[in-house]
Amino acid sequence: MQVLVGMSGGVDSSVAAAMLRDEGHEVVGVTLKLWGGESDSGCCSVSDVDDARRVAQQLGLEHLVFNFGEDFDEHVVNPYVADHAKGLTPNPCIECNRHLKFDRLLTRARALGFDAVATGHHALVRPVGPGGALRICRGVDDLKDQSYVLHMLTAQQLAQVLLPIGSLTKDEVRSRAMALGLRTAGKPDSQDVCFISHVGGGRRSFLSDRIPLHPARVVDKSGVDVGEVDAVELVTVGQRRGLGVVIDGRPRYAIDVDVDARLVVVGEPEDLDVTGQSLSGFTWVDEEARLHALSTPSVTVQTSAHGEPIAVATLACEADNSAVVQIEWTAPRHRVARGQSAVVYDGDVVLGGGIVS
């Protein structure tokens, strides 16, 4: 099989490429040039591209670089900025997977005659159920599982996706890299948004260069002023730090953010509780997954990359529109900030996911 392996310059994708080579596939490595601005983290820095190229050399693989910078700006960076301007809390890594790594890259791979695209994500692609439908499933390493950020993949896409390291723990990945003498064996994992630099003010500086940041009043539930913030666009529902609001010895949390009104409402933790939430832009793996989710009482929802699965009381599509899903929780729980993703699972199997609206 001819496989195009996305090599980010990290240890996971390095070992993924080595595993596929050792299995006898015709492997070519590719690094995506996504961000043309300043970067010192993630998979966009110059050093990461160099690491990927050198690992490919160590493994005896051809290495390509695809410049998808315009697509990255259009589908990831610009929406990230626009969401903050609207008071949302976006997840750019999910949008990068959706539009770049498993859309643009897959399309390019098909055009070049490759049979599959592989990455170093900690997740599994495996057949599930009597019909053997392909599904994204949790990787064996619970602490590193990345199935949540791959929830948008459809069954059609999964037919051309390989995730070799999903069956390994992180320690096993590093051990294999060390045994192969790969330069990335001890490289730390990336934890941050790749296009935002650690130096020079981070997210605040990045956004202030692109949109105006506005001060806002901070009020309690009665509308009484209790403070102020200097950038309402940077406040997230559920946030406590940075608000500086303590009443009766107890900190207060942001329970509502209104960018247009320049207003942040704060309350106690229980004021964040809701009985359900609505998801838009919902992507189901396939129609079978949708029907299964709507008829199976055991499905759970995960609302962050490494959050605990949450039991749901009901899951329903809105007026025959499968892209809008309403979740009702079994008990009130803290609301998820608008713009974040919620992913539906049956056990370890991903059925689909959408954006909290």
Q: What is the pLDDT of residues 190-206, one digit of tens each?
A: 767 888 887 777 899 99
Longest dimension (CA), the chain: 68
Q: How many angstroms separate the Cα of 339 from the Cα of each of 111, 239, 240?
A: 33, 15, 18
Please give the CATH superfamily to which domain 212-267 belongs: Adenine nucleotide alpha hydrolases-like domains (2.30.30.280)
Label residue 273 left, alpha or beta by phi (over 0 means left) and psi (-120 to 50 means alpha): beta
pLDDT at 42 exceeding the cut of 60: no
Confidence band for 188, pLDDT divided at 50, 70 and 90: confident
Q: Are strands 225-229 and 216-219 parallel, antiparallel or unpaired?
A: antiparallel
Please tell us whether the domain made up of 2-121+163-180 is placed in CATH 2.10.109.10.
no
Each residue of 302-345: pLDDT tens digit?
Answer: 999 999 999 999 999 976 678 999 999 999 999 999 999 999 99
Stretch 168-187: mean pLDDT, rounded?
A: 95
Q: Which residue has the higher pLDDT, 195 or 60?
A: 60
> How far is residue 321 CA from its own chain's centroid?
24
Confidence band for 43, pLDDT divided at 50, 70 and 90: low
Stretch 206-228: mean pLDDT, rounded?
A: 94
DSSP per position, 114-148: -SEEE---SEEEEEETTTTEEEEEE-S-TTT--GG
Q: Closest by alpha carbon to 120, among 7, 3, 1, 18?
A: 7
How far is 334 from 330, CA to CA, in rounded Å?
Answer: 12
Q: Closest by alpha carbon to 34, among 93, 89, 88?
A: 93
Stretch 97-102: mean pLDDT, rounded?
A: 96
- Which residues fall within 8 angstroms of residue 190, CB to CB, at 6 or more apart? 8, 10, 41, 42, 43
pLDDT at 45 exceeding the cut of 90: no
pLDDT at 44 exceeding the cut of 60: no
Domain ranges in the chain with CATH number 3.40.50.620: 2-121+163-180
Query: Do residues 339 and 346 make contact, with C-beta atoms less than 8 angstroms apart?
Result: no
pLDDT at 39 exceeding the cut of 60: no
Please tell us whether the domain made up of 272-356 is placed in CATH 3.40.640.10.
no
DSSP per position, 4-56: EEE--SSHHHHHHHHHHHHTT-EEEEEEEE---S--SSTT-SHHHHHHHHHHH
* Residues with active-site annotation: 96, 194
- Which residues fall within 8 angstroms of residue 57, CB to CB, at 6 or more apart? 63
Instruction: Summarize the chain as % helix, strand, coil (round to 5).
Output: 30, 30, 40
b/e 251-270 (16+ beta carbons within 10 angstroms → b)? ebbbbbbebeeebbbbbbee
Domain ranges in the chain with CATH number 2.40.30.10: 272-356
**Whole-structure pTM value:** 0.93
pLDDT at 18 exceeding the cut of 60: yes
How far is 140 from 137, CA to CA, in rounded Å?
Answer: 9
Each residue of 63-90: pLDDT tens digit?
Answer: 999 999 999 999 999 999 999 999 999 9
* Mean pLDDT estimate for the chain: 93
Domain ranges in the chain with CATH number 2.30.30.280: 212-267
Residues facing residue 171 across a β-bridge: none
Confidence band for 107, pLDDT divided at 50, 70 and 90: very high
Stretch 106-127: mean pLDDT, rounded?
A: 97
How far is 258 from 324, CA to CA, in rounded Å?
Answer: 23
How far is 279 from 325, CA to CA, in rounded Å?
Answer: 5
Residues facing residue 123 across a β-bridge: 138
Q: Closest by alpha carbon to 278, among 346, 320, 335?
A: 335
pLDDT at 46 exceeding the cut of 80: no
pLDDT at 189: 83
Which amino acid does the sequence have at 168?
Answer: L
pLDDT at 166 exceeding the cut of 60: yes
pLDDT at 162: 98
Residues facing residue 277 across a β-bridge: 327
pLDDT at 38 exceeding the cut of 70: no
pLDDT at 229: 94
